[in-house]
Amino acid sequence: MKKLVAAVAVSGLLVAGGASVAAAAGPGQGGRGHGAIRAAGQTAASTIGISPEELRSQIQSGKTVAQIATEHGVDPNAVVNAIVAALTQEIDQKAAAGSIDANRAAQAKQKLPDVANRFVNETKPRRDYRIRKDATQAAAKEIGVSTSDLKHARKNGKSIAQVAKDHDKSVDDVVNAIVKAATADVDQAVKDGKLDSQKADQIKKNLPDRAKQLVNREPRQPSTSTPGTQ
């Protein structure tokens, strides 16, 4: 739960097992680590026979990938093996392209069975996703736009503060709305027994600064470089 606050300001992974999958797939730059996570999720969904969106939804409801597989009559071990095969192929492609050396590739592949097993059997929903989602919804509501419109504006390079100003809304009011929504999520975590009150107090103390960072941060612009260049 220690990343609850950071999640208000920055995007995070949707599943707890994702970091291990990315690490096992080898070093990357930019979004390559997330590509490994995405590949693992897509492979799991395909093996189970559902869409990646449905897999994410069920994980967010509290299920592990193994439980989802079992409910669809699929052996969780088959999902593990499929993920290992998919990420092995990705590592081999990186090695062939010179992105990683042979020794690093071999080390990464050696770790794959363990991390794939963890991804399938230990993946849990992360509350930071709930907080980020609620923060975005709170900001959009305060500004008077839809959540999709706010997301679209951010994709086009605008900060939440800029969107608020475009609609003649107080930036401070938007920050306060986000803090209120995040505070409610933290309090609910305490109520659910997922966070102790002392930690919750520390988190809530930092929320105003985190919310200001979220509101004023300008989204990273898409790269205009030619594919394959840095």
Give per-residue pLDDT as tens, 68-124.
999 999 999 999 999 999 999 989 998 999 888 899 999 989 999 998 999 999 865
Q: How far apart are CA 10 and CA 7, in angstroms?
A: 5
Residues 160, 205 share a domain? yes
Amino acid, res. 99: S
Residues 163, 110 share a domain? no
User: DSSP assignment, residue 225?
Assistant: S
Among residues 104, 122, 140, which one ends one of the domains? 122
Which residues span the domain enclosing 160? Answer: 127-216
* C-alpha torsion 85→90→96→100, nearest 10: -120
The tokens for 1 are 């739960």
Residue 74 in any domain: the answer is yes
Short-list 24, 76, 21, 19, CA closest to 47: 76
Residue with token string 């990683």: 100
**Percentages (nearest 5) of helix, strand, coil residues in the chain:** 70, 0, 30
- Summarize the confidence of residues 131-151 as an average pLDDT: 90
Which is more confidently placed, 59 or 96?
Answer: 96
Residue 55 in any domain: the answer is yes
What residues does 15 pair with on adjacent strands?
125
Residue 166 in any domain: the answer is yes
Among residues 122, 144, 175, which one ends one of the domains? 122
- Per-residue model confidence (pLDDT) at position 165: 96
